Structures are given as C-alpha cells and as structure tokens.
Structure 1
Amino acid sequence: MLTPLASLLRPHSIDDIVGQEHLFSTGRPLRKYIESGHIPSMILWGPPGCGKTSIASVVSKSIDADFYHLSGVLSKKEDLMKILVKAKKNYSENRATILFLDEIHRWNKAQQDTLLPFVEKGVITLIGATTENPSFTVNNALISRARVYILWAISEEQIVKFLEQNMKIIQERYNEIIFSSESLKLIASLGDGDLRSTLNLLEAACILQGKGELTRESILEAGTKPLMYDRDGEEHYNLISAMHKSLRDSDGDAAIYWIGRMLAGGEDPRYIARRMINFASEDVGLADPLAMIIANSVYDICEKMGMPECGLPMYKLAYHLAAAPKDNSVYMAMHAMQKDVREFGNLPVPLHLRNAPTNLMKEAGYGKGYEYAHNLSDKKSSQEHFPERLKGRKYRG
C-alpha cells in the first residue's frame, strides 16, 4: 500500500517547514530553540494541516532526546504512565524526554493535571498540539508552565510553491498526469490553508483523472473547500461575533455572509435567531422598538419551519436590523444600574414610596408625603424615587 503524499512529503528539517515564518525565520523563537537543542514546553495552536505534527517531527530529528508521541483521542492514562516511568529514569541520567501530545484539548482536566508536576520539574518537555483555543481547552496551570505559539493557515502561494518544489516526487508516483500552474493553484485554493488536505485532494484528483492533463473537473470532483466550523469550538464564537459586529456597523451584506457560513456549518438556526433578538434588544433598542418583535417572529419561523425554509426570513431580518437606527442607551443604563446594585447593596426604600396597608405602618411614616401623579395637571411628579445615597441618579441620558 502506498504511503500518502502527506506523510511522504513531511519535512525532515527546519528549512523544510512550510509557512510559519514568524516562528522559523532566522532569529525567530522556534528556530532558535531547535538550533540550540534546548526545547521548552509549549502549546502549538493552529488550524488543521498548518504543520503542528510536522514541527514535532522536526524536533524529534533535531535534538538528542527520547521522543514520544501520544494522541489525545486514542491514548489512555496507562500509556502516559509508561512514558513517565522512562522519563523519570532519563531525568536521573540527565537525558531529556519530549512528549508530543496531539489534540491535547481532547484530554480532560484530570488527565492534563497528571502532566503538571513532571512538566514543572522538567522531567518531560511537553509539546501539545491543538486546533482549539487553549484558553478554553487547556488547564490554566498547564498553560502557565508552557509557552503558547499560534500557527497560521498556510497561504495559497506557499502551498503552490511547496507543490512545485516537490513535483519530482509527485510525478514519480503519478507519471501519467500532466500538472499545469492553473491546476496547482486550484488545488491550493481548495485546500484552504490545510497542506495535508491539499495533498490528499491532489492524490484523489490524480486517481480520478487517470492520465493526461489534470482537469478542473477532476479536481472539483475530488473535493471542495471544507467549512471549518465547530458548534462547541472557538470558530462558533468567532462567527457569531462577526455577525453581531456587522449588524452593529449596519453592514447587512456581511451579516448574511456570516449567517450563511454558520448555517452551512450546521449551526442551529434558532441559536442565530436568539442572538439576533439579543441584538435587537441591545443595539437597536428604543430606536426601533418593533425590531425585537420582528426578531422574535423570525425565531418562531425557525422553530416551526426549520432549514432550509427559515434561511430567507433570517436574511431579511439581518438586513432589517442592519438598516435600523441604533440606540444602546438602555443597555448602558442597565450596566450602570447593576454597578450601583453591587456597590451599594440593600439601600432602604424611601418611606414615601412604601405601601402602608396597616395603621402601624402609617404611624411609622410609610407612604407619608407621597405625591399621586394622577392628581397633577401634567400627570408627572418630581418627587425623589431613589434611595437617599443615590438621590438624583440618572442612568440613561
């Protein structure tokens, strides 16, 4: 069975790594660590196919240390304990042990906590790889004992250059295929910054083509751009934030784009509709009181009709909210009020505002001096309604 190109073309040295110049250019941190032979514990955070595993592979070939690879999905605590036994022996003999933990975010808190004393003491050097924001998925205690480095998706230009540089190896395997610059650019575009996915796509397209010039049809038949969306992950919050901010800036076109991205990724339309109700309340506010009612109606449509029929009403609502005048004064007033509640606690209700259903309460001054607004010609009373310490307070201008 043939080794996949993604494995065959894995880098062997620092100079083979694709992209990530901010970490591997001359004088940049990861290059300096590898060249020095002293690797600190670190978390590599980036999208799929950006080189996290390749970097760990380069580290394993570049320094004198025992190197172990565990999967956060498949490994168990017993697997780690076996490595720790060897690591403690290495430590006593002044030899380094590096543990590469792929998909570290898949380990629960208890599993991650097992690593803490060994990472802190230097018994093992941890290289954790994750596609999820470590702020949410890796224990704070572990993050504080490691450096976090962000890896970026690989650009189309970098992917095309990589394919061209490795074309001899690619054509040794697919010697009846003719590759044009246009076909390489299309493959790189569909790979969407994921080099592993790009190489898998290229292989699938070559198999479908069989021989001759690799055509656009074969490439598109082999696969399309994957949508990166996880309803429980960071991208979920990134996209909903982008929608909210687009609406706030009155950009309806951008808002429906982000909504469409979420729906295409499998998001529950009711979640998006709830966020739009919230936007109508927070950001449109009293400038268009009907906006919240309309948004609630669209939520009902999502509830009753579901996808794909509810998509169009959601896009209409997005354009309505984007075009609506904006007023967050009540939202700001709410926060100012909550600050007073937290700061001043249980301030007494002024006596004139208290109800006095019994004679004892009347004698105590409850309700005394209360001004009944309906007895006034303009129906408005200027009497004080706040506790004494907040007298004259204004939350909304």
Structure 2
Amino acid sequence: MDLFQAAQQNEPLAARMRPRNMDEYIGQNHIVGKGRLLRRAIKADQLSSLIFYGPPGTGKTTLARVIAGTTSSRFLSLNAVLSGVKQVREAIAEAQELRDLHGRRTILFVDEVHRWNKAQQDALLPWVENGTIILVGATTENPYFEVNSALVSRSRIFQLKQLESEDLFEVARQAAADKERGYGKWEIDFEEGALEHLVKTADGDARSLLNSLQLAVETTPDSYPPPGGEKIYITLETAEESIQKKVVLYDKEGDYHYDTISAFIKSIRGSDPDAALYWMARMVKAGEDPRFIFRRMIISAAEDIGMADPQALVQVNAAAQAYDRVGLPEGQFHLTQAALYLATAPKSNSSLAFFDAVKVVDEEAAREVPNHLRDPSRDKHGFGHGEGYNYPHAYRDHWVAQAYLPRGLKGRIFYQPASQGFEAGIQQDVIRRRELQMAAMIEESLENLSFSPGDKERDAWMRRTRGNSSRFLEEMRSRMFAPLKTERHHKFLIWRESSGLLLWEAWRRVPEGGVCAWFPEGRNMDLCEHFTRSLPESERPIFFGGRSDTALQDLETIKESCELFETIMIRDWISRLSEENRKAEWEQLRQLLSPGGVLSLSEPLPAMGSRLSDFLPDGAESLDEWQSIREAEDAVYREAYPGLESEETVLALLKEMGASDSAAEILNSSEDRILSTEQLNNWFNTERPGSLGFRMKAVLGEKKMESYSSYCLKHLEGARVKWNSCRIILRADFQ
C-alpha cells in the first residue's frame, strides 16, 4: 500500500465512495439520467455555469467532482465559508492567465455558494459574464433568494432531491462490494431489517447512510480490519446503535424551515390532523422554536378558521401562554392541543375580506364620510354633521338599516360569511340585514326625491304613507311569504322589483327551481346583480328590465324564455300604476302564471294610516273648516290611491282580475317622526302639482287651504309624532 492509498483508507467511507464518473453516480435520474441535458453536457464537456440546489447528502459536491474528473477544463474548488475576496481574485487571475496563454477554460466549483457575501459574489460576476470562469455552485438554500440574482440569471439551476430508498440500498450495496474503496474484501452480511433500518433512518441522505454503515462495519469485528475474506455480520441492534437518531433534514434559516412550516399550515387548512401532527413533529424534532410554531398557528386561527370558530384564536393563544409557563418537554401537549383544535375546527377565510377593502382603498379615489356618520361634537350646528344618524341601540334587536359605506361604494360587498361552524349561524342574519339595508337604501333614495319627472303624480308626502322603515319592510316580507305553499322546485317571478327585498327571500326558498325579476330602474337592477357575483352562474336569479317604459315588451321576452311561474309577487303595483297600465300588464302576467298559481301583493292603505290632522291639538275639531279638512283628506287619498281605500275595495279588485280565491291581512306599523318646518312647507306647497297642498287646495279652495296650512305650521312645527302606516298583504289563487 503506497502513501496515497494509506491516506485514502483513512478518509471516511462517504469520501472514499464518491463516484468517479457518471456510471457510478446513483440517483437524481431526473437531471443526470441517460439522455438528460446535464448528462449530455458533462459527457460533451460543454458546460455553462451551473448551480446545484438541494438538501445535504443528495450528491451536489459529488456531481461537481464527477465534472472535475471528466472535463478537459481546469477545475478549481473553493469553499465559500473558508474563502474570501482575496482567494476569489487569485482564482480569477489564474483563470484569466490560463485562457489568455493556453485558451483553456476554468471551472470554478464553489461549495455553499449561498454563504458568500455580496462583495464576493460581485467580484466573480464580470468573469462569469465574459466566460473566463464557468461557475459550478452548490447550495442547500434556494438560490433565487440567497444567490446574487445576476449570477442566478447566468446559470442553469438544477434541483437535487432526497434520494429514494432504492437509491440508498444501491449506495450501500456498492460500498459493501467495492474492494478498493469499500468493504469488498470481506463478506458483509446483514440481519433481516438491519440494512432497512439504516436506509430508513438516513431519510434520503447518502452521506448519513455511509457514515452509519462505516460505524456498523468497523465496530463489529473484535479488531479492524479483520483478515481478508472474513464474514462481518451486522445485526439489527448494531445498526440501531450506529444510527440511533433519525436524520432530520432541517435548517432554521433555509428552505426546509419554510417548506415544513408551510406543509404544517396547509395541513391545518386542509383539516388533516394526522398530517399536521407529522409536520409539527418534524419541526420539533429538528429543534424548531415552538414559539415560532405557535406564532404561525395564531395567524392560522384568524386566517383559516376565523369566524367559523372564533374560539380558535382564544384556544391557541391560551395554549401559547401555557407553553410559556410550562416549557419543554411538557409543553408539547399544548402544541398538540392547539394544532388538533385548528385542524379539526370548521374553516373560513372570510377575514380576507379586509384585503378586498384595502384593494378598493388603493385603487379608487378617497370617498367622503357620509354626513350622518360624521362627528357631531364639532360641526353639528354649522354643517349639520351627524344629522340623520339612527342610533342602533334605540331599535329592536339593536339594529336599524342605514348606509354606512360612502355614497360611491353603496352596495359593495367585502365580507362573505362561510356556511359552516359559528359563521353558518350568523350567515343568514348577515345576508338578510344586507338585503334590508339595500332595500332601505333604495327606498330612501326614492323617498328623498320630493318631486321626480318620472313620478309626477307622487310626492315625498305620499311616500311617507307607505311605511318603509327597515323593520316594517322585514315584517312585510315575512307576511308575504308566510301563506305561500312553496316547493323547492317552484319558480318565482318578482315583478317590478326595486330593491331585492322579495328577490332574495324567494331565491332562498326555491334552490332547485328558479327566480326571475323585472326591474323598472336600471341602477337598482345593477345593484342587485352586483350581489349575485359571488354565486355560481347557474344558481343566479335571472334579471330583466332596467327601463320602466319597456314593461310590456319585456313581458313578451319573459314569456318566450321562461316557463310558467307558480308564484308572482309584486309590491306597490296598484298604488304606483294607473288602471290602464295595470290592466295591460296583468293581461300578460296572467299568461305567465301556472294553473293553480298564486299572485302575492303588498299594497299601502294610506287612508287607514296617519294624517296630519290627527296630530293637531285638542280643540282643532271646533274649527269651522274641520269637517271640510277631513273630507278633503279623504278625497286626496281616494284620488291618489284609487281602489286602495279599504280591505274590501282591494279584494274587489282581485275578484275583477279573475281570482278564484283570495285572502288579506292588515299590517300596521308606527314610527316616531319629527315634523320639520322644511318638510311641512314642502307638503303644503300649493304651487307644485302632486303635493299635499296642491291636492287639498283643489278641494278646500285657496282661502281655507291657506288658513289650514298656517294652523298646521303653528302647531305642528318641530312636533314629535307617532306616524302610523298601514299595508295590506294579499294572496290570490288563479285556476
């Protein structure tokens, strides 16, 4: 044995068994298998700059040594930990001289290239660019994050993976059979399960396997080396002693740190408690700080579980606090409890709604805070800040429908409650409140138009008689649907829908049927369509209309594209349309109603609600004009709402329409209101067609009307009154 051979025999088995050529290289077939690009480039000695990236023991340095043994280029090797800028410049100078004098290329292998600082990497960059040096780097870190981006862009990246069990068995067999570098001089035999244990615990790391094999082989004989040809029998006990602890490939600063925690969180998100425990065990076994794991679980409790189980955040936080008191090893119970709670909890990512709101803030112009939401403590008197705000605690269930978003964002939806866990219990409440808010918002926008060209015969005073508070709307909707015998496969037509109030409740009741809705106003239809964007297209209601003057044409379209409907629902139909228009619409609507179908209506009965004269002080009855005033009010209501004088008159209308049976229910509501000067003046404006004053003047005459309006302004200005509204809910059957 010469000195070189003696020195080689003193090297670790893993160093002695490094492959000398591609035929001896085991594993990584995805990059060096026959016909692969890298294998062809090595064989043809046509390498460009390369970076090998992968966990320890996968063959990065070995592959570089194979290149060194096959290339005609000069091969230099540096270790990034031990080499500084000086060594880099020396290598560059040698490479430059070799190229200039002999035309020979230089391959520079840099092990742990990610450990080089920016100055070292920058020193190398120009020479890689001009081809003086071909870089072959090896790193356990993701080069896209840890290596100079300019170097990365000029290099091919090859990712090496953990070796498969079959590859490790082949590595062990190769070492046992090689007479020069391994243990081929002796007969190596393994007890059943011994080699399997070494392979399993190596966990894809060939270096770890060879180190444990060396320890097992060289400690088994009484003295090593034994005589040639002697049998060395490796027992399972020896194998277990040789590698007592499983190798866990994990670097707290590297990819495995982030990959493993990512796998852990994704297992929680996927509700797989077994996988969550496995990945957490990997981290704990590798020495990960449990506080880091708790931190990620606290984030997951809000991001992945969220409102589906609000207690998740409480539980994980409590477990983290308990761990701080207890520490390891008992603190592993608290880690486990927190992980299992999250993995088995119902899931919801509705908290991501915040980032949708952030996107709107980033992309759209800043919006003014609505006046009623502004702070009244500073500018209430000068600018009216805070006026019109409804204090929710003053209402039933501590809630009232009012707009909280800026004007340009009304109807925008960010939060979508999940349909499981705690959130499932609040989902319908959130949706129904949202619908009522939208309905009240649209009703309010209509109400604020004291005189509209599209509605010249109506005025804000008349709209007050309809009773459109959010609670009243909710109660009205409930009463309209209560008597309907709806099956899940039925079809609804919501005619003259304005706010989605009836639309969404109908949609919920017929999940296997369908809902169509016709809107006379395009902006209201657009708002309701916006609400449907989160639904699968096949489940969305079908919308028609958008213009009030196309009702009859749209009815023809509905007739052609839809089957008959079991139920047609309309709100404020008789009160809004002239008799002529109503009859024209009904002629076609009747053809859309299936045999035995139902027409459901909700109409105001203004004559049965409050009148201004109801709030005049005692003694008003003694006025000379009192009887005339009451008669004038009766006349105004009859003129404004023909056919809606009483329950009997409405039922008579349904009979004229051909109803075989009908039923009615009266719905009363009262609301506290303050009669402002501006409001009273608007109502008593005798010059504006459609106003209360204009209508009553036609009955009373100018002099009596002037006297009455003055009396009302004197006694009712600023008065707080309880305004009563009355509606009739109708159900009509048609054979």
Q: Does 1:180 align with 2:190?
A: yes
Q: Does 1:70 align with 2:91?
A: no
Question: d(CA) in 1 for partners of 2:395 and 2:321?
Answer: 43
Q: 1:377 to 1:49 in 2, by over 3 A?
A: closer
The letter for the 1-side match of 2:212 is L
Select which of 26, 38, 51 maps to 2:46: 38
- Aligned pairs for 1:1-397 (under 5 A) are 2-93=10-101, 94-169=103-178, 173=183, 178-180=188-190, 182=192, 183-210=194-221, 212-223=232-243, 224-329=245-350, 331-344=351-364, 346-358=366-378, 362-397=381-416
Give the drift of 1:377.
4.3
Instruction: Select the structure of larger CA radius of gyration.
Output: 2
Give the drift of 1:343.
1.2
2:540 alignment counterpart: none
The letter for the 2-side match of 1:236 is H
Paired residues, what number?
395
The letter for the 2-side match of 1:217 is E
Q: Answer yes or no: is the 8 Å Cα contact 2:85–2:119 preserved in 1.
A: no
Q: Answer yes or no: is the 8 Å Cα contact 1:333–1:395 preserved in 2.
A: yes
Q: Which moved further from structure 2: 168-177 or 179-188?
A: 168-177
Question: d(CA) in 1 for partners of 2:336 and 2:218?
Answer: 41
SS in 2 for 1:358: helix
Give the drift of 1:92.
2.6
Q: Answer yes or no: is the 8 Å Cα contact 1:174–1:206 preserved in 2.
A: no
Q: Which moved further from structure 2: 240-249 or 164-173?
A: 164-173
Question: d(CA) in 1 for partners of 2:409 and 2:386?
Answer: 19
Question: d(CA) in 1 for partners of 2:163 and 2:394?
Answer: 74
Q: 1:269 to 1:102 in 2, by over 3 A?
A: same
Q: Answer yes or no: is the 8 Å Cα contact 1:246–1:255 preserved in 2.
A: yes
Q: 1:373 to 1:167 in 2, by over 3 A?
A: closer
Structure with bigger RCO (C-alpha 8 Å, 6+ apart): 1
2:646 alignment counterpart: none
Question: d(CA) in 2 for partners of 1:203 and 1:214?
Answer: 11
Give the drift of 1:368.
3.0
Q: Which moved further from structure 2: 150-159 or 100-109?
A: 150-159
Question: d(CA) in 1 for partners of 2:114 and 2:388?
Answer: 64
**Cα shift readout 1:121-159 (whole Å, capped 9, x = no counterpart):** 111000000111112211222111111001112222122
Question: d(CA) in 2 for partners of 1:292 and 1:72?
Answer: 44
Q: 1:26 to 1:181 in 2, by over 3 A?
A: farther
Q: Answer yes or no: is the 8 Å Cα contact 1:295–1:317 preserved in 2.
A: yes
The letter for the 1-side match of 2:358 is Q
The letter for the 2-side match of 1:259 is M
Question: d(CA) in 1 for partners of 2:69 and 2:292?
Answer: 47
Q: Which moved further from structure 2: 269-278 or 342-351?
A: 342-351
Give the drift of 1:232.
1.5
Q: Answer yes or no: is the 8 Å Cα contact 2:270–2:343 preserved in 1.
A: yes
Question: d(CA) in 2 for partners of 1:263 and 1:170?
Answer: 41
What TM-score does the superposition give when structure 1 sets the normalisation length?
Answer: 0.93
Q: Answer yes or no: is the 8 Å Cα contact 1:177–1:206 preserved in 2.
A: no
Give the drift of 1:100.
0.3
The letter for the 2-side match of 1:200 is N
What TM-score does the superposition give when structure 2 sets the normalisation length?
Answer: 0.52
The letter for the 2-side match of 1:106 is R
Q: 1:125 to 1:219 in 2, by over 3 A?
A: same
Q: 1:372 to 1:3 in 2, by over 3 A?
A: closer
SS in 2 for 1:149: strand
Question: d(CA) in 1 for partners of 2:156 and 2:191?
Answer: 39
The letter for the 1-side match of 2:368 is P
Question: d(CA) in 2 for partners of 1:290 and 1:193?
Answer: 41
Q: Answer yes or no: is the 8 Å Cα contact 1:177–1:210 preserved in 2.
A: no
**Cα shift readout 1:185-208 (whole Å, capped 9, x = no counterpart):** 333223222222211111111222
Q: 1:181 to 1:367 in 2, by over 3 A?
A: same
Q: Answer yes or no: is the 8 Å Cα contact 1:40–1:146 preserved in 2.
A: yes
Question: d(CA) in 2 for partners of 1:20 and 1:213?
Answer: 31
Question: d(CA) in 2 for partners of 1:27 and 1:338?
Answer: 51
Give the drift of 1:174.
7.7
- Identical positions, percent: 41
Give the drift of 1:337.
0.9
Question: d(CA) in 2 for partners of 1:228 and 1:26?
Answer: 29
Q: 1:177 to 1:252 in 2, by over 3 A?
A: same
Which ranges in structure 1 are unaligned for 5 or more consecutive residues? none
Q: 1:367 to 1:147 in 2, by over 3 A?
A: same
Q: Answer yes or no: is the 8 Å Cα contact 1:208–1:222 preserved in 2.
A: no
Question: d(CA) in 2 for partners of 1:246 and 1:174?
Answer: 46
SS in 2 for 1:100: strand
Give the drift of 1:57.
1.0
Q: 1:166 to 1:380 in 2, by over 3 A?
A: closer
Give the drift of 1:166.
4.1
**Cα shift readout 1:228-258 (whole Å, capped 9, x = no counterpart):** 1112211111111111111122211221121
Give the drift of 1:170.
5.5
Q: 1:236 to 1:355 in 2, by over 3 A?
A: same
Q: Answer yes or no: is the 8 Å Cα contact 2:26–2:170 preserved in 1.
A: no
The letter for the 2-side match of 1:321 is L
Q: 1:28 to 1:298 in 2, by over 3 A?
A: same
Question: d(CA) in 2 for partners of 1:137 and 1:242?
Answer: 22
**Cα shift readout 1:56-92 (whole Å, capped 9, x = no counterpart):** 1111121211111000111111111100111122333
Question: d(CA) in 1 for partners of 2:179 and 2:265?
Answer: 45
**Cα shift readout 1:8-34 (whole Å, capped 9, x = no counterpart):** 221111111111112222220111111
The letter for the 2-side match of 1:196 is R
Question: d(CA) in 2 for partners of 1:63 and 1:178?
Answer: 35
Is the strand fraction higher in 1 or 2? 2
Q: Answer yes or no: is the 8 Å Cα contact 1:252–1:323 preserved in 2.
A: yes
2:696 alignment counterpart: none
Question: d(CA) in 2 for partners of 1:58 and 1:363?
Answer: 85
